[in-house]
A and B are shown apart, each in its own frame.
Chain A
Amino acid sequence: MPIRYRLKQFFTALIVLLCAYASINNFIGTFESGEVDFDHVANWENRFTPIKDLLPIQRGTLGYIADWDIPGADFDPSDQDAEYILTQYALSPFVLVRGENHEWIVGSLTPNTYKQWVEIRTGQYEDVKLKGNAYLFHRIK
């Protein structure tokens, strides 16, 4: 049999073996990569979804503040981004708009940034603290 045919056979078998390796390796990697009984999105939802029961409206626009809105606060921008997205996801069909120009404001703040934000707005808002670092602020008219 000419060497050309041997080479073709070898490469055909190689492709099959490498693809099988990639697939099995992916299966093992997936298996080892995390816990199937911990869902961080569901966890985040559990923190923020109770806000909907505290609001007197069923839909509309809410403000959203987080550590990235507090001057001097330490934060990771990509984490803040992901938290904003997750909070919007949890509270849909409310639209979350960054900033405080709304009657109702949802906050995702660490204890320090919460203190800092509230200190300079004493008497302007009433707030409810929920599980984790979730807050709901209501502007006092």
Chain B
Amino acid sequence: MSFLTGFLVHLPSVLAGMLLIHQILPGNQPSRLVFKLGLGAGLGLGATSLLYFILLLITNSLSGYIFIPITLLGIGLYLTWHNRIQNPIFPTIYSLTKLQKYLLAAFCLLVLTSLGSFMIHALMNSHGGFDAWMIYNRIARFFYRGGINWQNAFSQDIYWQFHADYPLLLPLNLAGAWQTLGTENMRAAQAHGAYIFIGLVSLLIGAVAILRTTGQSLLASIVLLGTPIYVYESPREAADLTLAFFILATVACLIIYHREQNANFLFLAGLASSFGAWTKNEGLLFALISAAACFFLLNKNRRLPKILFYITGLLPLILVLYFKYFLAPSNDLFSSQADLLARITDSQRYITIFQEFIDHFVWFGRSNISIPIILLGYMLILKSHLSSKDSPAVVICAILLTTQFLGYFSIYILTPHNLDWHLRTSLARLIMHLYPAALLLYFASLSDPEPVFTK
């Protein structure tokens, strides 16, 4: 029963996101509907969390959470009904080739095994993983149990390891769900993770199908589902999967914007990157870098005024910055900068971090086979088949992800904590942030499987 209520409490946010995005991005081709289904799940949850934060600041009360997604859903349903003729929501009929049917069957098999793994992980860890007790669920408890004293969650007395400065997307959605259900239902946090995971897979399938073919999109999703760390992380109630979702959403919207020149994609890219900043501190870095990427992309197309759409999407960042400056305690990484110069000039740190990056990249995914190495081999065999139309956006987004990666590298150089401990406890999750977006770029650049099997 707690599983059911945990899923139901977030459902209005997810449905509202899907329906509202359907109004912003018309089209009922299956690939577009899958893309909007994925994008809507994350953006709906992100919007609910941010609006709840505004409500909390205004009323200083935790009540009223559920009215936010219900109102958004009402608006979404009204607009969908009102525009049903010019913007139908039911998909057009689409037949699959033999290869696509085989890939779909493989995809379904992986969905089933992932679902099984998710359920077992969820049952074994009802309170989630280490980060959940330490950060997200703990902050949610400070809110839910603290009532009008919710700001105690940011007490200066809280030990740095509890990361009281982390943004609030996840804790607020969880505290709001508990407030709605009247109990600390831990399944609500796992349901949040499940919706984000479903959104991540749908977003990747939809984006690759829009940019390439159905076969290519199914192959991309098979690779994502075949990377067990994502199934492992989704019921662990941490925010890394959510940030991975928003990074993928930003990159997908930027590339599809470049292809179709529909400025609404820019707005959604801005929104996704600001929700990323509302999810984790690393998201703030990503919002900054993706704004620069958007600028370069538009400048190259001589469409710089369109950046206003992106900036409009970035408006939630004002709330994130308000939180960081007025509520959150200082970040542990930047509060102690003694010996900074010694760390920057220590060449051994660079070597250690580089070796760990290579090792974690090769063995990324919690699997006993190296999927990244197989993908590299696959790329050498299939060769790049990037259309000239997409190449500027794909290249700029590749630079965006590389810069984010270098940002992570710099954090390890600067960290005042024990380097081995810091690498061991965080590096795999940092790679996890970027991997789905990297898969999108990879499959958007590679030859499609269909022609290979029809020769």
Contacts and interface: CB of A to CB of B under 8 A. Distances in A.
Interface of A: 1, 5, 7-9, 11-12, 14-16, 18-27, 30-31, 33-36, 39, 41-42, 59, 61, 81-82, 84-86, 88-89, 92-93, 95-98
A102 B121 CA distance: 39
Main secondary structure of the interface of A (DSSP, over half): helix
List of 8 A-B pairs having minimum Cβ-Cβ separation, nearest first = A19-B226, A26-B228, A41-B127, A92-B141, A93-B146, A36-B123, A89-B133, A22-B367
Interface of B: 103, 106, 109-110, 113-114, 116-117, 120-121, 123-127, 130, 133-134, 137-138, 141-142, 145-146, 149, 152-153, 155, 157-159, 161-162, 219, 222-223, 225-228, 231-232, 365-369, 371, 374-375, 377-378, 381-382, 447, 449, 452-453, 455
Given A30-B232, A59-B149, A93-B142, 10 more contacts: A11-B377, A12-B453, A18-B369, A19-B110, A19-B223, A22-B227, A26-B232, A27-B113, A31-B116, A39-B124
A18 B369 CA distance: 8
Q: Which of A12, A31, A92 has the most CB of B within 10 A?
A: A92
B138 A92 contact: yes
Contacts of B116: 27, 30-31
Contacts of A86: 133
B121 A30 contact: yes
Contact of B120 (A23, A36, A84, A89): A36
22 contacts: A11-B382, A15-B223, A16-B222, A20-B113, A23-B114, A23-B225, A23-B226, A26-B367, A27-B116, A30-B120, A30-B124, A33-B124, A41-B133, A59-B152, A61-B155, A61-B157, A85-B130, A86-B133, A89-B137, A92-B145, A93-B146, A97-B159
B178 to A, nearest CB: 12
Contact of B452 (A5, A22, A34, A85): A5
Contacts of A8: 381-382, 447, 449, 452
B376 to A, nearest CB: 11
B32 to A, nearest CB: 25
B453 to A, nearest CB: 6
A26 B127 contact: no
A89 B159 contact: no
B449 A95 contact: no
A93 B145 contact: yes
Contacts of A27: 113-114, 116-117, 120
A12 B145 contact: no
Contacts of A92: 138, 141-142, 145
